């Protein structure tokens, strides 16, 4: 009897383990580390024709599984103001089309002292695949730069517009700026786009009219 009991004990333990819920999968996170700690870096400000200075900087990353991005950040010098963040698909090794985008009103960094700036409160659901995180200055106050030198740089980098006439992007492997995705502490949520604010205003007006009636 004693040998029978000892033989069935491992089987009972295994059966009990199979009945336990599986541990939750770890959420995707990416942290290249901070870049150089200086006031230089790759320019990030709105295009002003006919000069067509660089406006957008992008870094490529890959998801092995379907994931939801809740926050994105970049290591930068920033003068304060609106900055756009977007996820693009990959098209022939460069950013293709925008899948998600949001605008954040970012506080200025200390002069010549870069820091992490970004937005949180996102719900960007992506399938497994290769994507680009794009930083894009918005018209109006605000400009900055993104220093290179991240200790664990992304797979690839790009800047836009390209040098060739009409090119939206060009490869820029030496950018090397720092990026964080789904890394705490999470920055503030994005500022609603003007179109969204208009819809909220119209909805509120409709509710007031209905209440008066």
pLDDT, averaged per 10 consecutive residues of the chain (213 residues), comes to 50 50 66 94 75 80 97 96 95 97 94 95 97 90 90 96 87 96 93 53 48 49
Are the C-beta atoms of residues 177 and 114 closer than 8 Å to each other?
Answer: no
pLDDT at 98: 97
Q: Please say whether the structural domain 27-212 has been given the CATH code 2.60.120.
A: yes
pLDDT at 39: 87
pLDDT at 162: 85
pLDDT at 164: 84
**Hey, where are the domains in the chain?**
27-212
Burial group, residue 176, by CB count within 10 angstroms (0-12, 13-18, 19+): buried
pLDDT at 52: 55
pLDDT at 3: 47
User: Which residues face 69 on adjacent strands?
Assistant: 124
- Cα–Cα distance for residue pair 183/118, rounded to 1 Å: 11
pLDDT at 55: 79
CA angle 185, 190, 192 (to 5 degrees): 165
pLDDT at 140: 76
């Amino acid at each position: 009897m004693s040998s029978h009991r000892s033989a069935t004990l491992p089987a009972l333990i295994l059966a009990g383990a199979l009945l336990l819920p599986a541990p939750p999968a770890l959420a995707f996170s990416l942290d290249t580390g901070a870049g150089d700690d200086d006031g230089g870096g790759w320019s990030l400000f709105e295009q002003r024709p006919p000069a067509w200075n660089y406006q957008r900087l992008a870094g490529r990353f890959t998801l092995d599984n379907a994931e939801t991005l809740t926050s994105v950040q970049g290591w930068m010098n920033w003068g304060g103001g609106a900055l756009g963040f977007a996820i693009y698909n990959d098209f022939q090794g460069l950013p293709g089309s925008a899948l998600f985008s949001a605008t954040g009103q970012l506080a200025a960094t200390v002069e010549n002292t870069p820091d992490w700036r970004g937005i949180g409160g996102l719900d960007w659901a992506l399938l497994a695949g290769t994507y680009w995180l794009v930083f894009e200055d918005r018209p109006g106050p605000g400009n900055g730069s993104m220093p290179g030198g991240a200790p664990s740089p992304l797979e690839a980098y790009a800047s836009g517009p390209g040098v060739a006439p009409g090119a939206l992007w060009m490869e820029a492997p030496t950018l090397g700026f720092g990026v964080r995705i789904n890394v705490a502490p999470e920055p503030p949520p994005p500022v609603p786009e003007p179109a969204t604010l208009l819809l909220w205003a119209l909805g509120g007006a409709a509710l007031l009219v209905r209440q008066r009636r």
